Amino acid sequence: MKPLRLGSVPYVNAAPLTSWLHEAECPYGFSIRYEPPSRLASLLDEGALDLALVSSIELARRSDLRYMPGPVIASEGPVLTVRVLCRQSPHEVRKLAADTSSLTSVALARIWWRETYGYEPDIRPMAPDVPHMMEEADAALIIGALEAEPPLGLRVVDLGAAWFEMTGLPFVYAAWIGRSDLDWRPAAALLNEALDQGMAQADALAGCWARALGQPTELVRRYFTQTMRYRLTPRAEAGLRLFAVKCGEHGILTERHTPRPYGCADRDEEGSYE
């Protein structure tokens, strides 16, 4: 089999999914590159990657993609690393500066504002620099940053918590996604074992990332073991499908598709959200 070409994100939330891939005892043949989610989606489009840890909106956008059963990046409630920082109450926000490296997070923010307040802020793509973003807009959408405390004086909307309050379901931010014709079973073995090994080393991994981020080790350990959900459950799959539905309902996607896993028959079923 040709070596798998993998793509992942350079954020702390992906660490348990990919850390073991760099260990000497990992026996599989593959290459891996790290890019922001939107860039990974482009590389997947171009055929430069076989599988990538891509924003879940891609599954609703394209019918030719599938997701790997098992490893995902999800939360059931607060996620801590996908947040909107506001100068005032969220219902007063008119301009939102958004780090558009994750199109899923931008779509989630749009859905939340529409369903909560009945309008959508003017969203402006900007580099993820909070002070500059707050000079240009009323609020800033930031992904990937794990911090013990938000910047002084800013209100926080945790989009994981916001989704859970709206729907009662987990939210899937990213999954290992590839084209439907991929020989996916060897990849499933690799990526599921990588997750098993990563979670077994969660304490050591937390220490390494805490030093890199300059954050308390216990914060990072709780993030890996309690905040994040790295295994896909039926409830998380329901949340994934519901997100696709809402992207269609709110006009975020002009054409939307039901997310399907590898090994699933090609039929367009909505499933249950219960």
**Mean pLDDT along residues 244-258:** 94
- Name which of 72, 216, 199, 76 is nearest 146 in CA terms: 216
* CA distances, 157 to each of 8, 16, 55, 144, 164 (Å): 26, 25, 20, 15, 12
Question: Which of the residue ranges 9-13, 22-26, 227-231 has the most confident prediction, judged by mean pLDDT?
Answer: 227-231
4-74+171-249 maps to CATH 3.40.190.10 = yes
SS (H, E, C) 87-112: CCCHHHCCEEEECCCCHHHHHHHHHH
Statement: 82-167 belongs to CATH 3.40.50.720: no
Q: What percent of the chain has pLDDT over 70?
A: 95
pTM above 0.85, yes or no: yes
* pLDDT at residue 271, rounded to an integer: 43
pLDDT confidence bin for 26, thresholds 50/70/90: confident
Please state the domain extents for the chain.
Answer: 4-74+171-249, 82-167
pLDDT of residue 263: 87
What is residue 264's predicted lDDT score, i.e. its pLDDT?
74
Q: Taking residues 238-252, what's their average pLDDT?
A: 96
pLDDT of 134 above 70: yes
Encode pLDDT of 27-78 as tens digits: 777 889 999 888 998 999 899 999 999 999 999 999 999 999 999 999 999 9
* Bridge partners, residue 178, by sequence: 51, 66
Max Cα distance, the chain (Å)? 55
Position 266 scores a pLDDT of 47
Task: Answer for the pair 56, 150: CB distance below 8 angstroms, yes or no.
Answer: no
Kindly report the backbone phi and psi dihedral angles of residue 146, in degrees, each rounded to the nearest multiple of 5, phi listed first: -105, 115
> Sheet harboring 4-8: ordered strands across?
30-34, 4-8, 51-55, 171-179, 65-75, 228-231
Q: Would you state the pLDDT for residue 30? A: 87
Q: Do domains 4-74+171-249 and 82-167 have the same CATH topology?
A: yes
Work out the average pLDDT over 191-220.
95
Question: Is residue 155 predicted with pLDDT exceeding 80?
Answer: yes
